[in-house]
Amino acid sequence: MVKILVSFMFATEKEMGYDPYVTRHSPIHYVYEIENRFFRTEGVIVGHRSNNITGHMARIWSAREVNSNEKDASVIGKEECVLKDVWLDAEAPTETEVQSAIFDDIERFWAEDPPADKVGLEPLRTKHRELVISGQYKEYFLTHVVHQIGETTKPYNDTSFKFRPGLFTASAKPIAPGSSTRSKSHRHNDGLRETIGHANWEEQHCSHGEPVYDRKISSKRQYRVVFREKCEATVGNLATLGEAMDVLQQILIRKCIHPTCVSASI
């Protein structure tokens, strides 16, 4: 507790969580500065569990580009865009890096002769050669307008994070080795909620015989990306099997040709 109080006393505004690249004008109107460009949020597309201190804490906004971070800044252009604000594991590639790697692989596949065991792919290469040469294949992907990699959290000392289930004995359990570390929340018959996620647990025992678990927490880095395309539905809002099949079909045919196409929040 003393360490926390001292940290608050001597922390800078940035260390306290005030982001110099974000200006708040109302609960839903923020202006993000990304690579010397400004984007004002118009509404939340996805904000589920965005306030959690673990996980990606992703917020996805509909936004418009403006000429400054002032409250009444003029809008640049007429189209809305999608702004994704997320915390990634420090070693994880960004969405822009992943897309660039995909583009490199596509162009390498069409530039080089296929190996002997892949000669059956030659008709595919021939059919789509012009699409790759012209670069039009990129229209089948979301357009990244601008992106920015922000701060990286300080590395954690593994031995500093101990979890003792004494306070929440009925609900706290370790994750079995090899099981998924994706966040999950289960409700038991006694009404208590068991939350599991984003951790690798190694069971130990303290001197009193109570289990103690080491929680491995990776460093995070902030990442923001703006997409040009704003679609009408997110995956979680697809209400029928028919809508889901429409989206799957669009993955193979073309992006954003149907009002239920998938948003950049995937």
pLDDT tens-digit series, residues 3-22: 888 888 888 887 777 888 99
Residue 23 has pLDDT above 90, yes or no: yes
- How does the average pLDDT of the chain come out, rounded? 76
Is the model more confident about 263 or about 97?
97
Q: Taking the model in full, what pTM does it have?
A: 0.68
Find tokens 């922000």 and name the residue.
150
Find tokens 């690249």 and name the residue.
21
Find the mean pLDDT for residues 187-207: 42
- 41 in Cβ contact with 32 (< 8 Å): yes
Render pLDDT for 203-234 as a digit per residue (tens, 0 to 9): 444 444 555 555 567 788 999 999 998 876 66
Confidence of residue 36 (pLDDT cuts 50, 70, 90): very high
> Would you state the pLDDT for residue 125?
86
SS3 81: strand
Report the run of H or E that residue 205 belongs to, with start and end.
strand 201-205
Whole-angstrom distance, CA of residue 263 vs CA of residue 87: 19
Residue 163 has pLDDT above 80, yes or no: no
Find the mean pLDDT for residues 237-264: 64
Find tokens 């917020």 and name the residue.
59
